[in-house]
Structure formats: structure tokens, C-alpha cells
Homo-oligomer: A and B are copies of this chain.
Amino acid sequence: MSNAFDGIEPTAVRNVTCIGAGPIGAGWSAYFLAKGFNVVSYIHSKDEETSLRGLVNDAWTSLTELGLAEGAELARLVVTSDLGAAIKDAEFIQESAPESLPLKQALYKTLGEIVPPNVVIASSTSGLRMTDIQMQCATAERTVVGHPFNPPYLLPLVEVVGGKHTAPGAVQWAAGFYTVAGKAPLVLKREIPGFIATRLQEAIWREALHMIVNDEASVEDIDFAVVNGPGPRWAMMGPCLTYHIGGGEGGMEYCLEQFGPAFKLPWSRMDAPELTPALAKLLIEGSARLAGDRDYSTLNRQRDAGLIAIRKALDELAR
């Protein structure tokens, strides 16, 4: 098996094939259509066409509101349950089949035989490893994970990572193509279960489940706390920059000095790692890079402006 990959220029892609009739597959189809691509949507059975088109239409309404690319047309969508026809002209394939390893392994075996090897196949999987998915694929070097967030037509993140047999060039190609297509790709340093964003989401979810099962908080309490508390900040600033600002003029360094011991308080159920000088260094230097040349007062003003804009926008909607 070769570990090299030689694809066409990401900017030259015109034809995208999306596999899967669920909200993720349909969301991707709508998204690529809105960006002006020709899209073929593969569905497992003809019965799924009505539901798929319904999901695409709903997403199209939202995408139209955000602004379509020049020449984008809903009418460009071709729906077929013939896999050979679906992949015939594909220059990129986004696979969003059900989350079953045997099913995906069989699908990648077939795709590996019928899709030209210079076409990247990206999986929307949120929990499976590409190393496992690509196990029976004869052309595994061009298979990657391209994990979106729901709804994939509105949230920009796509986590990109290869499996054991993926060519590094295919990972780079996918990241390049997603960028061209207007997404925000995040290339992972290595294959970790759940990737980055889902792990963070899982951590919150698990702590929430513990509180609910212990009668410390109701389902409503959890959602109320997030939406009225840290949620609006996370729409514009991650936890690292948040703590960097939380430290005032002293930034992350002061924040770690001041709250360092609190990392060991038994708040959430997850043990904190040891706050070693090496970890502190990573945090302080990383936060400084995030802040760039923005000083505390600038960051503070930007955070406030963002929170005000979000609050006004949501208030306006609620009227």
C-alpha cells in the first residue's frame, strides 16, 4: 500500500459527493450546494429521498439567509441510490453513513475499489477511528476523518485526522479543501478517540449527567446555567483565552497562580492533571499566542463587544 497522495488542486474541485441521508449527510449536501459546488447525494434507499430533500430544503433556507456563493443553486442537487453513479464524477467525497464500524468498513472497501485513488474520502464519524474504518480499504491512503459539528451547514469546525494508513498529504489536502469551501478545519496532532471538540463536549455532558443523577441539578438547571453563564463567552472565546482575561493584566500566569490550587478542588468528577511547571508554561505561552498583540484592555473590550452583540442579536430574535 502506497502512503503517498497526489490529488487535484483543492481550488479546482467542482463536484462533491455526499453519502448519507441523515441530518449530517443532508447538511453537508446543502452546505456544498450553497458554496456553488455540484453535489450528488447518495442515499441507501429510494425511500429516503423525501426526507433528505426536506432536510436539504430546511438547511437551504438558513444558508440563503447567511448568503449564497455566486451561481449556487438548489437545483444542482442530484439524488441517487446508485453508488457507482454517485461517485462517478466526484472530486471529493464526504461520507456520513450511520455510525456502525462494520457498515463503514464494508463501505470503504467498496469505495476503495470504485473511487479513483486521487480523490479524498472524508468521514463525518464522531466516534470511530479512521485506522479502524479504513481496515478493509485497498486505497486507504486517501481516507481521512472530516468531523463536522451539527448543524454542519452553520458551524464552521471540521476536525481532520488520518488513520494509520492515511497519507499525510491527504490530511493536508482535506484541510486545504475545507478552507477553500469556507469551513474552519482543525488538523489533529494525532488520532484520539472523540477528537478534540467532542471530548470537551463529552466532559461537560458527563459532569451534567452526574449532577442530574445525584439530584444536584435538574435538566433545566443545566441548560439554564450554560446559556446564562459561560455559554455566550464560548461563542467567541475558548476556555484558555477566557482564563487569560480572567487573570486581568497578569493574564494566564496570574490566573494559574491565583486559582492553581483550585484545580485540585473536587468540583467536577474528573481528576485534574498535575499543574507542573511544564503544563503552566504551555498554558501561559499558548495564551500569549492567542492574545497576540492585544493587551488586557483590548481583549476585555473585544469580549464585551462580542457579548453585547450576541445578547442584542438573540434579544432581537426573541421579540
Contact = CB atoms under 8 A, between A and B. Distances in A.
B66 A155 contact: no
Nearest to A198: B267
Interface residues of A, number: 113
Given A270-B270, A314-B309, A225 B207 contact: no
A228 to B, nearest CB: 4
A197 B199 CA distance: 18
A268 B149 contact: no
Contacts of A272: 206, 209
A305 B317 contact: yes
Nearest to A210: B273
B308 A23 contact: no
Contacts of A314: 235-236, 306, 309-310
A101 to B, nearest CB: 12
A231 B234 contact: yes
B213 A207 contact: no
A175 to B, nearest CB: 13
Contacts of A61: 304
Interface string A175-209: 00000000010101110111011111111111111
